[in-house]
Amino acid sequence: MKKIAPAFIPLPASENSNTVSISRRNLIKTIALGSAGLILSPHTLLSATRKQKDRLGVALVGLGYYSTDLLAPALQQTKRCYLAGIVTGTPSKAETWKAKYNIPDKNIYNYQNFDQIANNPDIDVVYVVLPPSMHHEYTIRAANAGKHVWCEKPMAMTAKECQEMIDACKKNKKTLAIGYRLQHEPNTQEWRRIVNNKLLGKVKSLNCAAGYRDNRTDHWKQKKEMGGGVLYDMGVYSIQGARLGTGMEPIAIISAQTSTTRPEIYKNGLDETTVAKLEFPGGVMADIKTSFGENINELHIKCEKGDINMSPYQSYAGLSGSSPLGEIHFPYSVPWQQAKQMDDDAVAIMQNKPLLVPGEEGLRDIRIVEAIYKSAATGQRVNLL
């Protein structure tokens, strides 16, 4: 059985320390120019002489479960970034985090003074870990404050919001990464390698399901105005499974259906369960399902020369699967995925290299989410091209 080798995080290459000689004539010329009005501000001089960081400071915006139980512990394991600050609307949380992680008062913000983060050189990256309805606002505010942005999935409520987030980061010359941890994960990278290199021939069809039994009744996931509904949350895992598992982008939603067995919780048409059939180029079909009503976690990719089967397909504690080429299993413990994701993104920023999961990737999924809801509402095929 084949085992997956660990994925190592590359370190930034050290810069060459070339010595630049300035002749006496050039020195006199420089002084003369300065006296003629070429005056450098203290900020410009500081920026020019500031040593490049070997770790990026990250501020977590929103201190719910994911930040508390996964991202903050992961930031204690990362090598290229660290927990530098927090943004919360709950003073008691601020005090708890301050004591636990030794966060200085100047790096603790609330939602009213958030924009002052622009003046804090300790913070390089703002990680937006808020309900989806707030992603658009805080990503744009972070970009306008001159910070790189990491945003949790789903990226936003609409494709229009996604594009505006992308545009704001580009305008401010800052990067935007979406928190799809699985794209950084070695088991996922292995089955994608098999698909992308056609090691089992072409993909013929696909089935992906992601969900869990959520018994909460008053969480944002049960509130439509905050980005609730299963398709936005767990549904993007199934959409990612279909897109990455075929190695293609869908051309249409053939059909879709939303439902609930608990209308007292999932009100006003909010989906507890969603199923959809996606059509890809070449007539390849993908059936996806996502639910807050049952535990489902699998990906099956039918190829010409055999099948790739992953179960669980997505899990914090690790994935497991197989193909005719061997076992797909690289073990690790929680929160390794989150640490790997953040280190990968930090290295990309420091080395000025493309992000593995940029904002455009989140936009692709939200376009599909919107199309699935439209198909479910109309009962008709929705073209994506």
Task: Give DSSP secondary structure letters for 54-82.
Answer: SSEEEEEE--SHIIIIIIHHHTTT-SSEE
Find the domain containing 210 and state its range. 182-331+358-383
CB burial of residue 82 (10 Å; 0-12, 13-18, 19+): middle
Helix (H, G, I), strand (E, B) or coil at 349: helix
The CATH number assigned to the domain holding 240 equals 3.30.360.10
Residue 292 lies in a domain: yes
Residue 46 lies in a domain: no
Same-domain status, 280 and 376? yes
- Predicted pLDDT of residue 385: 86
- Please count the structural domains in the chain: 2
Strands 306-310 and 148-151, by their bridges, are unpaired
Residue 10 lies in a domain: no
Residue 234 lies in a domain: yes
Same-domain status, 171 and 193? no
The band of 27, judged by pLDDT with boundaries at 50, 70 and 90, is very low
Residue 136 scores a pLDDT above 50 = yes
Q: What is the mean pLDDT of residues 178-191?
A: 98
Same-domain status, 245 and 376? yes
Higher pLDDT, 336 or 40: 336
Residue 229 lies in a domain: yes
Same-domain status, 258 and 375? yes
Distance of CA 384 to the CA centre of its chain: 23
Partnered with residue 208 across adjacent β-strands are 288, 299
The band of 248, judged by pLDDT with boundaries at 50, 70 and 90, is very high
Same-domain status, 87 and 195? no
Q: What is the pLDDT of residues 79-102, one digit of tens each?
A: 999 999 999 999 999 999 999 999
- Predicted pLDDT of residue 11: 36
The band of 31, judged by pLDDT with boundaries at 50, 70 and 90, is very low
Residue 8 lies in a domain: no
3-state helix vs strand vs coil in the chain, percent to 5:
40, 20, 40
Mean pLDDT of the chain: 90
Of the listed ranges 5-9, 78-82, 252-256, 374-378, the least confidently predicted one is 5-9
Give the rounded percent of residues in the chain with a pLDDT score beyond 90. Answer: 86
CB burial of residue 283 (10 Å; 0-12, 13-18, 19+): exposed
- Predicted pLDDT of residue 22: 35
Q: What is the pLDDT of residues 148-175, one digit of tens each?
A: 999 999 999 999 999 999 999 999 999 9
E strands in 271-314: 273-280, 284-291, 296-303, 306-310
Residue 356 scores a pLDDT above 70 = yes
What does 85-146 look like in DSSP terms, one character per residue? EEE-S-HHHHHHHHHHHT--GGGEE-SSSGGGGGG-TT--EEEE-S-GGGHHHHHHHHHHTT
Q: What is the mean pLDDT of residues 95-117?
A: 98
Higher pLDDT, 204 or 38: 204
Last residue of a domain, one of 143, 166, 181: 181
Residue 7 scores a pLDDT above 90 = no
What does 199-211 look like in DSSP terms, one character per residue? BTBSEEEEEEEEE
- Predicted pLDDT of residue 12: 36
Q: What is the pLDDT of residues 310-349, one digit of tens each?
A: 999 999 999 999 999 999 999 999 999 999 999 999 999 9
The band of 50, judged by pLDDT with boundaries at 50, 70 and 90, is low
Same-domain status, 306 and 235? yes
CB 83 within 8 A of CB 76: yes
Same-domain status, 323 and 282? yes
Of the listed ranges 16-20, 91-95, 205-209, 237-241, the least confidently predicted one is 16-20
Same-domain status, 168 and 158? yes
Residue 51 scores a pLDDT above 50 = yes
What does 249-272 look like in DSSP terms, one character per residue? --SEEEEEEEE-S-TTTS-TT--S
Residue 172 lies in a domain: yes
Residue 289, both tokens: 């399902």
Q: What is the mean pLDDT of residues 199-225?
A: 97
The band of 53, judged by pLDDT with boundaries at 50, 70 and 90, is confident
Residue 285 lies in a domain: yes
Last residue of a domain, one of 159, 181, 203: 181
Q: What is the mean pLDDT of residues 378-383?
A: 98
Residue 145, both tokens: 């404050």
Residue 139 scores a pLDDT above 90 = yes
Last residue of a domain, one of 181, 213, 238: 181
- Predicted pLDDT of residue 18: 39
Same-domain status, 92 and 150? yes
Same-domain status, 304 and 286? yes
The band of 36, judged by pLDDT with boundaries at 50, 70 and 90, is very low
Helix (H, G, I), strand (E, B) or coil at 151: strand
Residue 276 scores a pLDDT above 70 = yes
Same-domain status, 255 and 129? no
Q: What is the mean pLDDT of residues 275-280?
A: 98
Q: What is the mean pLDDT of residues 211-225?
A: 96
212-218 LR contacts (CB < 8 Å, sep 24+) = 212/291, 212/292, 212/294, 212/295, 212/296, 212/297, 213/292, 213/293, 213/294, 213/295, 214/292, 214/293, 217/265
Peptide bond into 6 cis (omega under 30): no
Same-domain status, 222 and 363? yes
Query: Whole-angstrom Cα distance, residue 234 to residue 293?
Result: 11
The CATH number assigned to the domain holding 123 equals 3.40.50.720
